């Protein structure tokens, strides 16, 4: 039976985005090729991200989803150059308008951050300085990237504080981060990122700490600014409802790998990986009658010692269907067909049978 997910597209509109993992990518606005990140530890090498490929065009929104520890945030940190100077071992390319972010120097990245590439973090305290007023910090971010007077910058900062839903923004402008509640700090950080009008915005769980009303307001604002500036957005989240609402394409990560990618409507209605099916099954449905959610049983694999076969095999209900020991012994490649990629040994026919029997 086809299930209906809150916020999911009701029909199958024609997908516009360049899907993650798709073939092509030459000259793409952002073209990530074979990106891998590993962290040496006392216990061995932690393979946090393994061979990620995706492209993104201006005006498009890519959602990256997966459980905690799947490599979503590490991918964004690598793109922002935040792993430079750490022990992280990076390989592959991330071509942003032709420039490789992975090889770029820290000074080169500093020039890109803010105006060209902005980031909204999960933790607002990591982005807001405790010694400066919130308004001052937003104003400074604006002045770095705009030719404007102090007065104009102040007006722009107050306007942006209002747009992200901070009440009495003129008064709040002169307050310090510790005067703000957690949700307000999150909104202030979002204001600081958006005021720079970045060409590429990477938002890591931007609305997780906010209530649903404010969340909707922020998502609307991000969409509005994206339309105004034709910017690209990477939205990292575990909330498939948000993905359904704002994303053009989706990349599903598990154990540091992309296991499925494609246009958002196909991910919801033509799902081709058991892990994605499990994620969808664990979210509330409009047609569900039991009122129970079904989390995926088991734990993600250790990134210190990934299995040689399919990395989802220990939690997959359908490994036997694929035949003998193939799932335990052979790591599936990411197969991309007409912009929809899956890393699974099951045939299309088997996947249709599974989907229709749910």
Report 195-224 residues binding ligand SF4 (CB under 6 A). none
* DSSP per-residue string spanning 287-336: S--S----PPPS-PPPTTS--SS-TTGGG-TTHHHH-TTHHHH-PPP-EE
Q: Please work out, in degrees rounded to the nearest 5, the angle formed at the alpha carbon of residue 94 by the alpha carbons of 93 and 98.
A: 105
Q: Which stretch binds ligand SF4 (CB under 6 A): 31-39, 65-73, 283-291, 312-320?
A: 312-320
Locus of tokens 């494609």 = 262
Say whether residue 312 binds ligand SF4 (CB under 6 A): yes
Max distance between CA atoms of the chain, in angstroms, equals 70
Q: Considering the rule CB under 6 A, would residue 351 count as an interface residue with ligand SF4?
A: no
157 touches ligand SF4 by CB under 6 A: no
Interaction residues for ligand SF4, span 84-113 (CB under 6 A): none
SS3 assignment, position 60 = coil
Total residues in contact with ligand SF4, by rule CB under 6 A:
14
Beta-sheet strands, E only, within the chain? 30-41, 44-56, 61-65, 89-96, 99-100, 117-120, 200-204, 232-237, 249-254, 257-263, 335-337, 340-342
Q: Which of 318, 336, 339, 340 binds ligand SF4 (CB under 6 A)?
A: 318
The Cα–Cα gap between 214 and 280 comes to 24
Using rule CB under 6 A, residue 345 touches ligand SF4:
yes
**Minimum distance from residue 358 beta carbon to ligand SF4 (Å):** 15
Complex with ligand SF4: residue 170 or 337, whichever CB lies closer: 337
Token pair listed for 219: 């998502």
Q: Which is nearer to ligand SF4, 305 or 317 (CB)?
A: 317
CA 117 – CA 1 distance, rounded (Å): 42
Picking from 329, 227, 217, 317, the residue whose alpha carbon sits closest to that of residue 273 is 317
Interaction between residue 277 and ligand SF4 (CB under 6 A): no
Least distance to ligand SF4, CB of residue 204, Å = 26
Q: DSSP 3-state assignment of 280?
A: helix
258 forms part of the interface with ligand SF4 (CB under 6 A) = no
Site for ligand SF4 contains 255 (CB under 6 A): no
| Beta-carbon contacts of residue 189 (< 8 Å; ≥ 6 apart) | 120, 121, 124, 127, 128
Listed ranges 29-37, 51-59, 241-249, 307-315: which one lies at the site for ligand SF4 (CB under 6 A): 307-315
Rounded (10°) CA dihedral 315, 318, 323, 329: -20
Residue 313 interacts with ligand SF4 (CB under 6 A): yes or no: yes
The binder of ligand SF4 chosen from 92, 124, 332, 341 (CB under 6 A): 332
**Measured from the CB of residue 251, what is the shortest distance to ligand SF4 in angstroms?**
16
- Residue 254 as a binder of ligand SF4 (CB under 6 A): the answer is no
CA distance 36 to 353: 34
Task: Tell me how far apart the terminal alpha carbons of the chain are, to the nearest angstrom.
Answer: 6
Task: Please report whether residue 316 would count as binding ligand SF4 according to CB under 6 A.
Answer: yes
Whole-Å CA distances, 231 to 207, 216, 239: 19, 19, 22
User: In whole angstroms, how close is the CB of 357 to ligand SF4 at the nearest point?
Assistant: 15
| Binding of residue 279 to ligand SF4 (CB under 6 A) | no
**Least CB distance to ligand SF4 at residue 171 (A):** 54
- 344 interacts with ligand SF4 by CB under 6 A: yes
* Site of interaction with ligand SF4 (CB under 6 A): 273-274, 310, 312-313, 316, 318-319, 322, 327, 332, 344-346
């Amino acid at each position: 039976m086809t299930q209906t997910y809150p916020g999911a597209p009701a029909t199958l509109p024609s997908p516009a985005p360049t899907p993650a993992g798709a073939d092509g990518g030459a000259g793409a606005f952002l073209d990530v090729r074979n990106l891998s990140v590993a962290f040496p530890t006392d216990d061995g090498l932690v393979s946090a991200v393994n061979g990620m490929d995706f492209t993104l065009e201006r005006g498009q929104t890519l959602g990256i989803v997966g459980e905690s520890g799947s490599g979503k945030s590490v991918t964004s940190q690598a793109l922002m150059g935040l792993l430079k100077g750490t022990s992280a071992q990076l390989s592959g390319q991330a071509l942003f308008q032709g420039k490789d972010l992975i090889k770029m120097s820290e000074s080169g990245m500093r020039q890109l951050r803010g105006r060209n590439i902005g980031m909204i973090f999960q933790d607002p305290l990591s982005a807001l300085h405790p010694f400066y007023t919130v308004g001052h910090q937003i104003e400074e971010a604006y002045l770095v990237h705009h030719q404007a007077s102090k007065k104009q910058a102040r007006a722009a900062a107050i306007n942006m504080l209002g747009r992200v839903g901070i009440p009495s923004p003129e008064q709040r402008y002169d307050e310090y981060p510790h005067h703000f509640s957690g949700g307000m700090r999150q909104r202030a950080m979002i204001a600081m990122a958006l005021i720079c009008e970045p060409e590429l915005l990477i938002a890591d769980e931007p609305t997780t700490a906010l209530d649903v009303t404010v969340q909707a307001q922020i998502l609307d604002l991000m969409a509005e600014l994206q339309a105004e500036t034709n910017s690209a957005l990477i939205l990292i989240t575990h909330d498939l409802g948000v993905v359904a609402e704002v994303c053009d394409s989706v990349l599903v990560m598990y154990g540091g790998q992309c296991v499925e990618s494609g246009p958002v409507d196909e991910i919801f209605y033509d799902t081709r990986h058991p892990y994605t099916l499990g994620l969808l099954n664990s979210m509330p449905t409009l047609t569900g009658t039991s009122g129970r959610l079904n989390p995926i049983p088991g734990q993600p694999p250790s990134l210190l010692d990934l299995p040689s076969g399919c990395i989802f095999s220990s939690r997959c209900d359908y490994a036997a269907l694929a035949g003998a020991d193939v799932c335990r012994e052979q790591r599936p490649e990411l197969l991309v067909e007409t912009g929809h990629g899956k890393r699974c040994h099951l045939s299309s026919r088997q996947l249709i049978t599974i989907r229709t029997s749910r």
